[in-house]
Amino acid sequence: MRIDLHTHSTASDGTDSPAELIANAAAAGLDAVAITDHDTTSGWAEARAALPAGLRLVRGAELSCRSPDGRGGYCTVHLLAYLFDPDAEAVVADHARARAQRRRRLATMAGRMAEDGFPVDADELLAELPEDSTAGRPHIAMALVKAGVVSTVDEAFERFLNDRGRYYVPSSRTPVESSIETINSAGGVTVLAHAFAHHRGPTVTAEVIKELAGLGMAGVEVDHPDHDAEARARLRALAEDLDLIMTGSSDYHGTNKVLRLGQETTAPEMLDAIAARATGVEIVTAS
């Protein structure tokens, strides 16, 4: 059984369309795949329609949240949300607010770069992005690649787009406590994504994870490409201690990142545990 529960499509900052993502998941020999675009469920229908026999689809999303960091301040965390009702009022409102703010933010970042002479046009970038898909820094990065300013998306992040750079604007972040509540109320299940990916920026302490678990967060992503062996060991111990679901996933973004589908995987009993807790929508199999 090969299960990958964290992937992105063109509904946010991946490069595969939802249908291509499903085809690539099947080609990679996966038995189950989750589509977890940032702040949108707009890829769900196309992914479902493309589903071949033998591949199960877990519908989800990845939410950017603001969390206490456990050191007296705050930091960004990403929350994976699975099998929630996409039509729940609070879900629809949260997603719409996040996407609108991300568009304004992309325009601000691109505008600052254009002022400095970079060949990026905010209006052009946004015109190419459907309203129900989610704008992210990788869209600016791809424009810089296309214009020949950098040769890879990674290089664009290293030189211009990382959160220490002069063009960086933070994206909107819902309080993590509120996102957990919204997803739980919509029958979904929440898993903290890449919690100890230290090179991405500040991370939360174990104490914070314990508090979030107390608020109804169901699991933690243990195996993730951005986790070193120590991060995985600490998360695994914490999950065992707190009786949390443990997942492993690639965080595939198509050609925007050098990651393979199924590079990290989730144990079948962990997906069973997610499905058992969810009451929003079901895991889809091809009919």
Residues in touch with ligand AMP (CB under 6 A): 13, 38, 136-138, 153-154, 157, 171, 253, 256-257
- Nearest distance in Å: CB 17, Zn ion: 17
User: Alpha-carbon distance 43 to 14, whole Å?
Assistant: 11
Nearest CA-CA partner of 65 in 208, 169, 170, 176: 176
Pick the closer one to ligand AMP by CB: 63 or 208.
Answer: 63
167 touches, from Fe ion, ligand AMP, Zn ion, none (C-beta below 5 to 8 Å by class): none
Pick the closer one to ligand AMP by CB: 15 or 182.
Answer: 15
- Nearest distance in Å: CB 53, Zn ion: 27
- Nearest distance in Å: CB 285, Fe ion: 27
**Interacting positions 228-257 with Zn ion (CB under 5 A):** 251
- Nearest distance in Å: CB 157, ligand AMP: 3
Residue range at the interface with Zn ion (CB under 5 A); choices 59-67, 83-91, 182-190, 237-245:
59-67
User: Alpha-carbon distance 35 to 43, whole Å?
Assistant: 8
Answer for the pair 276, 189: CB distance below 8 angstroms, yes or no.
Answer: no
Can you read off the two tokens belonging to residue 211?
Answer: 């508090």
Locate tokens 């900052």: which residue? 13
Pick the closer one to ligand AMP by CB: 82 or 157.
Answer: 157
CA-angle at 266, arms to 265 and 271, nearest 5°:
145
Q: Could you write out the DSSP letters of every residue in 148-167?
A: TS-SSHHHHIIIIISTTSTT
